[in-house]
Amino acid sequence: MVTATGEPWHYLDTAATAQKPQAVIDAMARALGEDYATVHRGVYSRSAEMTLGYEAARRRVADFVGAKGENEIVLVRGATEAINLVAQSWGGANLGEGDRIVLSTLEHHSNIVPWQMLAERTGAEIDVCPLTEDHRIDLGALEAMLGPRTKLVALAHVSNVLGSVLDARAAADLAHSVGAKLLLDGCQAAPRMALDMTALDCDFYAFSGHKLYGPTGIGVLWAREELLEAMPPWQGGGAMIDKVDFGGTTYAPPPQRFEAGTPMITEVIALHAAIDYVDAVGPERLFAHETALAKQLRGALRSLNSVTLFGPEDSAGIVSFAMKGVHPHDLGTILDEEDVAIRAGHHCAQPLMEHLGVPATARASFGLYSDESDIEALMRGIERTQRIFG
């Protein structure tokens, strides 16, 4: 990648949002331009064609995640909305006073706050699973804290700060052993790992399009069909109804029941293009590429006495670290002058920062477009920062 002046630009913030391939930009431009029309309602040909494209995208998502069918795919604005949907609909219908929700220390705020809001409303309580010494979710501790009142376990498939990968199938087996459901936050996993809902055996899976090389404003909730069938709607409006009468309303079956209002038409079309792009590269190849770069960067950073590394050695394309005497924001500012873009802050994971004993970290995260020149530029910027701060 290059800057506006043609200089090399080293983008190391893919965990926040991915840069878009031209195929995705072109697909969205067509959807906004010559192909544009509403979906599901029009009887004219362009609307019918756009509807076919929209529902083809839903089928493509279902195939991408290994769903049993397209009826298990709810299209939402992002992973945050997907988790809130589960909390408000399934959680509101199934959790009560004294029931337990299990989270982990490393969760993103989007997988903490919705459950806190639900707990306040229902009287449920939250348990927090600790981490192992190398900053993975401690499944042994998880097993010990599960009990008959545990109704839901909600965990990150891949940590957005540490890059640690959850043994998701083991977590599913533990949750199901006490009759609980498992929700996985797949935002960091979907762009770099092959997904198979049958193999994972979870109950809910959420991810965002913009981290998957697609546009913002689109996300996916996968859920078991039988769970969606039993869940009440969480928003009311057009498209999610069967029949509306002032005496009462009946609702559409899933997934339409959870998709009130005019949907994210162009974003869904572009998400289809993004999934095609990622699949063409190959999730296994992506995982190997990004994991190798993360390992190389960890090795380079380990040679610096002023740097503390966080996360496991086999982190999945994400490396968080701290420099002694240098706030991550200062490091990020100096790196920006070197045309290196990293993320600096708490990464929407303040409980994890407290656990790590730091107010913030610097985070470098890789994508399919990353290479060794990005690591070299980052290390040059860090060396300059060391000279500035003495």
- Please tell me whether residues 131 and 113 are part of one structural domain: yes
**Total domain count, the chain:** 2
**Residue 94: HSE in the Cβ half-sphere, 13 Å Cα cutoff:** 21
DSSP string, 142-205: HHHH--TTEEEEEEESB-TTT-PBP-HHHHHHHHHHTT-EEEEE-TTTTTTS---HHHH--SEE
DSSP letter, residue 321: E
- Please tell me whether residues 212 and 199 are part of one structural domain: yes
- Please tell me whether residues 215 and 293 are part of one structural domain: no
Which residue of the set 129, 187, 202, 348 is catalytic? 348
367-376 pLDDT, tens digit each: 999 999 999 9
Strand partners, 245: 248
Supply the range of the domain harboring residue 37: 22-280
The answer to whether residue 94 is domain-embedded is yes
The answer to whether residue 3 is domain-embedded is no
- Please tell me whether residues 140 and 203 are part of one structural domain: yes
> How far apart (Å, rounded) are the C-alpha atoms in residues 358 and 352?
9
- Please tell me whether residues 178 and 224 are part of one structural domain: yes
298-339 pLDDT, tens digit each: 999 999 999 999 999 999 999 999 999 999 999 999 999 999
More confident of the two residues 287 and 42: 287
* CATH number, domain with residue 198: 3.40.640.10
Query: Is the pTM here over 0.95, yes or no?
Result: yes
End-of-domain residue from the set 250, 280, 310: 280
- Please tell me whether residues 350 and 222 are part of one structural domain: no
| Catalytic site includes residue 348 | yes
- Please tell me whether residues 39 and 158 are part of one structural domain: yes
% of the chain exceeding 90 in pLDDT:
97
Q: Which two tokens stand for residue 283?
A: 């999730």
- Please tell me whether residues 38 and 86 are part of one structural domain: yes
Per-residue pLDDT at 195: 97
